[in-house]
Amino acid sequence: MQAETSLNIRVYGLYINEKKEILLTDEFRFDLHMTKFPGGGLKFGEGTIDCLKREAREELGQEIEVIEHFYTTDFFQQAYFYENQQLISIYYLARFVEPEKLKISKIPFDFENKSEEILSFRYTKISEIKEEELSFPIDRHVLKLLKTKY
């Protein structure tokens, strides 16, 4: 008998400032350090833009405006944390409705307590980010696309 499979749909915001820097989130979850774009999982009954707005309120503490769709995964990607799940990631260019209120760091993983899920934020020039700095394959692919556009 074959194991049941499912889709894991994730939605991410690409927040680019006037200096061509993009907002990254450094997280400690599942006993791992990871660097990725801000966003998270789609809940049943939720649209993708509603998901991104909810994630922005939860993670960033801010309201956002979605500018436009940027990319949706167009290749097979096994979910990193869950067996038998195919990952679909959707990326939107977005901006903050009000001036940023979140703490922006200059260094990666700028937090002390590593015993629970925790995150920090930083801007990095798109042209200076190395692919290997991002933890996940789809984010690395999106970085390549960003570098051609910006």
- Is residue 117 a contact partner of residue 29, using CB atoms and an 8 Å limit? yes
Phi, psi of 57 (to 5 degrees): -65, -45
Write down all domains in the chain, each with its CATH number in brackets: 6-149 (3.90.79.10)
**Whole-prediction pTM value?**
0.91
pLDDT tens string, the chain, 150 residues long: the values are 455 679 999 999 999 999 999 999 999 888 889 999 999 999 999 999 999 999 999 999 999 999 999 999 999 988 887 788 999 999 999 999 999 999 999 999 998 766 666 899 999 999 999 999 999 999 999 999 999 999
